[in-house]
Structures are given as structure tokens and as C-alpha cells.
């Protein structure tokens, strides 16, 4: 635990609530000198006090330790605001619909910044009845692979975890899907939007001639 970050967080939370050090100390059954030491980075609360401190301020213990207050103003359950956190140690994938303080293996995670797919990360999407068949021309070795794909609609998330030496492909129900994400363990998070065609169907690269041309171009570039 970083006592400087925690102390700064305690000071910020206390002052934002118009609370004195003595008032906080009284609620926690400690001395105001103890609170002063925490806030000045000269010590830190006993671990047994963390839940009580978090409860007094109405935050989580994770927020307290991270030094970052999380405020989500009516995210309304909109999955289109999805954020993905990927642990660099174990590859764990964590999803949220708003701001969050996420830790895994002792590492504070930040949401992966999504980029539009590029020539080295080309996704091919084919509508098959009520599903999208999604495929990516990409290495799937132990050192370089696509870790997951996710299809997002306003009210739901479909996520498929992928593994090295498998196939970089997945199937998703088409209903309401607006965007598809995929994560390369070397280059990060990419996405492509799924646009309705002239006849109103949700499609993306499902024209066989266009798809064949793109696949041939990808094979020429990447072998």
C-alpha cells in the first residue's frame, strides 16, 4: 500500500465532505494526530481500518488504495460505453460500463484505448442467418495472438475468449450489434463498427467479392 497516495485520498475525501481531522478520528476511534500522519504521508492506517474508512466516505477500499475516486453519473446500463481492462500478468479480461478502479495481480489497470482496425488487424464479418461469423487474419502463436473478441449492442455484451494456437474466429448473435472489439496481446484493442446496409440488415464485409479481395490482399501482405 502506498501511504502517500492513500493519505492524499483521505485528505481529499475528508475535505470534500467538510469534515475535520478530529471528526474523522472520532468516527474511526483513533486520534486526530493519527489522521494527520496519514494525510501527510508519515504513516498509514492499519489494514483493519480500511473498510471503516471506506464506509465513512462512501467509497470502495480499492478506490481508497488507488487514490482515485470513481464517479459514474447514470451510466444507464449502456453497453456502448464498454471499457475493457486486460491484466498484463495473467491476461485476465475485465469489463465495465463506466469508470472503475480495477486491480489484478497487484497491478492497477487502466482501460485499453480502442483503435480502428488497420491493415495488420483486419476483421472479416459474414452474416449467417441470425449470427455474425467473425474471423481475423492474424498470428495465433504463444507469443502473438488475439486474446478475445466482443460484440457490443446497447443492452448486452457477447465476449469470446481466444487462446494461442486456436483460430481467431467467433460467432455472435446479430441482434442489435453495433460494434465489434478484438484484442491483440502485442498491439492492444481494436474495433470496427457494424453498419446497416441499404436493405436494413446489420452487415459488415459480408459482400463475398469485397471480402475475397480483402482476404487476398491480407495474404499477400502477411503471407
More confident residue, 139 or 71: 139
pLDDT digits (tens, 9 = 90+) for 81-124: 889 999 888 889 999 887 777 878 777 788 888 999 888 888 99
Looking at residue 48, its pLDDT comes to 82
Radius of gyration over every alpha carbon of the chain, rounded to an integer in angstroms: 23
Q: How far apart are CA 51 and CA 87, in angstroms?
A: 25
> Which DSSP symbol is given to 144?
S
Question: Distance between alpha carbon 130 and the CA centroid of its chain, in Å?
Answer: 28
DSSP state of 73: -
Domain boundaries along the sequence of the chain: 3-66, 115-222
Q: Cα separation of 64 and 54, whole Å? A: 7
Distance (Å, whole) CA 144 – CA 165 = 10
How many other C-beta atoms can be found within 10 angstroms of the C-beta atom of residue 90? 10
Q: What percentage of the chain carries pLDDT values higher than 70?
A: 80
Q: Looking up cell 463498427, which residue turns up?
A: 193
Question: Which architecture, in CATH terms, is 3-66?
Answer: Orthogonal Bundle (1.10)
The per-residue pLDDT for range 198-221, each reduced to its tens digit, is 333 444 444 445 555 655 665 565
Average pLDDT over residues 126-137: 90
Whole-number average pLDDT of the chain = 81
Query: What's the whole-number mean pLDDT along residues 172-201?
Result: 81
pTM, entire model? 0.61
Tell me the β-bridge partners of 126: 133
Q: Which residues contact 209 (CB under 8 A, 6 or more apart)?
A: none
Same fold across 3-66 and 115-222? no
Alpha carbon distance 144, 147 (integer Å): 9
Q: 70 near 58, Cβ under 8 Å?
A: no
Q: Copy the grid coordinates of residue 216.
A: 487476398
pLDDT tens column, 39-60: 888 777 888 888 899 899 888 7
* Nearest CA among 140, 201, 153 for reference residue 179: 153
Q: Name the CATH code of domain 115-222 (choices 3.40.50.300, 2.60.40.730, 3.30.70.360, 3.40.50.1580).
A: 2.60.40.730
Least confidently predicted of 14-23, 26-35, 68-77: 68-77
Q: In what order do the strands lie in the sheet with 169-173?
A: 123-128, 131-136, 169-173
Amino acid at each position: 500500500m502506498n501511504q502517500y497516495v492513500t493519505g492524499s485520498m483521505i485528505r481529499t475525501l475528508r475535505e470534500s465532505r467538510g469534515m475535520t481531522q478530529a471528526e474523522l478520528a472520532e468516527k474511526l476511534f483513533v486520534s486526530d494526530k493519527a489522521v494527520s500522519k496519514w494525510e501527510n504521508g508519515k504513516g498509514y492506517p492499519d489494514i483493519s481500518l480500511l473498510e471503516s474508512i471506506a464506509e465513512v466516505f462512501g467509497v470502495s477500499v480499492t478506490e481508497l488504495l488507488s487514490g482515485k475516486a470513481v464517479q459514474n453519473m447514470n451510466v444507464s446500463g449502456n453497453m456502448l460505453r464498454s471499457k475493457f481492462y486486460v491484466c498484463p500478468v495473467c491476461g485476465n479480461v475485465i469489463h465495465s460500463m463506466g469508470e472503475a478502479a480495477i486491480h489484478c495481480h497487484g497491478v492497477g489497470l487502466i482501460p485499453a484505448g480502442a483503435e480502428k482496425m488497420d491493415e495488420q488487424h483486419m476483421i472479416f464479418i459474414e452474416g449467417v442467418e441470425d449470427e455474425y461469423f467473425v474471423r481475423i487474419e492474424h498470428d495465433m502463436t504463444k507469443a502473438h495472438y488475439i486474446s478475445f473478441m466482443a460484440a457490443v449492442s446497447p443492452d448486452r455484451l457477447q465476449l469470446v475468449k481466444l487462446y494461442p494456437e486456436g483460430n481467431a474466429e467467433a460467432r455472435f448473435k446479430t441482434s442489435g450489434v453495433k460494434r465489434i472489439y478484438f484484442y491483440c496481446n502485442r498491439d492492444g484493442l481494436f474495433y470496427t463498427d457494424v453498419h446497416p446496409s441499404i436493405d436494413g440488415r446489420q452487415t459488415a464485409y459480408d459482400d463475398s467479392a469485397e471480402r475475397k479481395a480483402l482476404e487476398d490482399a491480407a495474404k499477400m501482405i502477411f503471407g
